[in-house]
Structure 1
Amino acid sequence: MAGKLKKDKEKGTYYFVLEAGKGANGKRRRIKRTGFKTKKEANAEMIKLETELAINTTTPQESNMSLGEYLDYWLDNYAKTNTKPKTFVEYEKIIRNHLKPSMGHELLNTLKSIQIQAYYKRKLETLSAQSVLHQHRLLSKALNDAVDWEFINKNVAKGAKPPKPIKTEMKTLNVDQLNLLFKSAKEKSPTYFPIIYGAGQTGMRKSELIGLTWQNVDLKSPNPKLYISQTITEANGKYFFNPIPKGKKPRNIKITPQLAKLLSELKIEYDYQKKVFGDTYNPNNLVFCNSRGNIMAPSEITRALKRVLKTAGLPDIRFHDLRHSHASILLSANVHPKIVSDRLGHSKIGITLDTYSHLTDSLEGLAVESLDQMLD
Structure 2
Amino acid sequence: MRAVYEKCRELTWPHLKNSTRKQYEENFQRHLLPVFGNSRLHRLSTVELQAYFNSLSPRLSPKTVKLIHGTLRAALNQAIAWEMMTRNPAKGVKLPRKHSVKPPIVLPLIFIRKVIQTVAEPTRSLLILMVFASMRVGEVLALRWKDILPGRIIIDERVYDDEFDDVKTEAGQREVPLDRHGVILRALQAMWERNKKFRKPNDLVFANSVGKPLDRHNLLRRHLKKAAEKLELPDRIDFRSFRTMHASLMRRMGGRLEVARDNMGHAGSTGSITLDVYSKSWWEERVDAVTRVVEAVFTEPEAKEEETNTVTSPKRLHTDGSDGDWEPFWEPQGGNPDQKPM
TM, length-normalised to structure 1: 0.65
The equivalent of 1:319 in structure 2 is 239
Equivalent position SS for 2:225 = helix
Q: 2:109 aligns with which of 152, 158, 175?
A: 175
Equivalent position SS for 1:140 = helix
Equivalent position SS for 2:163 = strand
Equivalent position SS for 2:227 = helix
Q: 2:175 aligns with which of 249, 252, 276?
A: 252
**Separation in structure 2 between the aligned mates of residue 249 and residue 90 of structure 1, nearest angstrom:** 21
Equivalent position SS for 2:165 = strand
CA contact (8 A) 1:192 1:301 kept: yes
The equivalent of 1:227 in structure 2 is 154
Equivalent position SS for 2:39 = coil
CA contact (8 A) 1:194 1:288 kept: no
Q: 2:139 aligns with which of 185, 202, 208?
A: 208
Equivalent position SS for 2:3 = helix
Deviation at 1:284, TM superposition (A): 5.3
Deviation at 1:180, TM superposition (A): 1.1
Deviation at 1:296, TM superposition (A): 1.0
CA contact (8 A) 2:148 2:154 kept: yes
Which residue identity does 2:214 align to in structure 1?
A: M
**Separation in structure 2 between the aligned mates of residue 211 and residue 138 of structure 1, nearest angstrom:** 27
**Separation in structure 1 between the aligned mates of residue 266 and residue 170 of structure 2, nearest angstrom:** 17
CA contact (8 A) 1:309 1:315 kept: yes
Structure 1 or 2, whichever has the larger Rg, is 1
Q: 2:219 aligns with which of 294, 301, 305?
A: 301
Equivalent position SS for 1:350 = coil
Which residue identity does 2:192 align to in structure 1?
A: K
**Separation in structure 1 between the aligned mates of residue 234 and residue 140 of structure 2, nearest angstrom:** 23
Equivalent position SS for 2:130 = helix
Deviation at 1:116, TM superposition (A): 0.9
Which residue identity does 2:251 align to in structure 1?
A: L
**Separation in structure 2 between the aligned mates of residue 247 and residue 165 of structure 1, nearest angstrom:** 29
Which residue identity does 1:254 align to in structure 2?
A: P
**Separation in structure 1 between the aligned mates of residue 140 and residue 255 of structure 2, nearest angstrom:** 23
Deviation at 1:283, TM superposition (A): 9.6
Asked if 1:287 is matched to 2:197, the reply is: no
Identity level (%): 24
The equivalent of 2:257 in structure 1 is 337
**Separation in structure 2 between the aligned mates of residue 204 and residue 249 of structure 1, nearest angstrom:** 9
The equivalent of 1:54 in structure 2 is none
CA contact (8 A) 2:143 2:155 kept: yes
Q: Larger deviation: 115-124 or 205-214?
A: 115-124
Deviation at 1:313, TM superposition (A): 2.5
Q: 1:162 to 1:284 in 2, by over 3 A?
A: farther
**Separation in structure 2 between the aligned mates of residue 314 and residue 174 of structure 1, nearest angstrom:** 11
Asked if 1:94 is matched to 2:12, the reply is: no
**Separation in structure 2 between the aligned mates of residue 161 and residue 209 of structure 1, nearest angstrom:** 38
Q: 1:135 to 1:171 in 2, by over 3 A?
A: same
Q: 1:208 to 1:136 in 2, by over 3 A?
A: same
Q: 1:141 to 1:340 in 2, by over 3 A?
A: same
CA contact (8 A) 1:209 1:288 kept: yes
The equivalent of 2:186 in structure 1 is 261
Asked if 1:191 is matched to 2:122, the reply is: yes
The equivalent of 2:229 in structure 1 is 310
**Separation in structure 2 between the aligned mates of residue 195 and residue 269 of structure 1, nearest angstrom:** 13
The equivalent of 1:142 in structure 2 is 75
The alignment covers a number of residue pairs equal to 268
Residue segments in structure 2 that go unaligned for 5+ positions in a row: 273-342
CA contact (8 A) 1:196 1:305 kept: no
Which residue identity does 1:267 align to in structure 2?
A: W
**Separation in structure 2 between the aligned mates of residue 292 and residue 148 of structure 1, nearest angstrom:** 44
Deviation at 1:240, TM superposition (A): 0.8
CA contact (8 A) 1:133 1:164 kept: no
**Separation in structure 2 between the aligned mates of residue 85 and residue 184 of structure 1, nearest angstrom:** 33
Q: 1:97 to 1:245 in 2, by over 3 A?
A: closer
**Separation in structure 1 between the aligned mates of residue 85 and residue 136 of structure 2, nearest angstrom:** 41
**Separation in structure 2 between the aligned mates of residue 203 and residue 247 of structure 1, nearest angstrom:** 16
Which residue identity does 1:216 align to in structure 2?
A: D
**Separation in structure 2 between the aligned mates of residue 103 and residue 192 of structure 1, nearest angstrom:** 42
Deviation at 1:120, TM superposition (A): 0.9
**Separation in structure 2 between the aligned mates of residue 210 and residue 266 of structure 1, nearest angstrom:** 12
TM, length-normalised to structure 2: 0.71
The equivalent of 1:369 in structure 2 is none
Higher strand share: 1
The equivalent of 2:338 in structure 1 is none
The equivalent of 1:127 in structure 2 is 60
**Separation in structure 2 between the aligned mates of residue 286 and residue 178 of structure 1, nearest angstrom:** 26
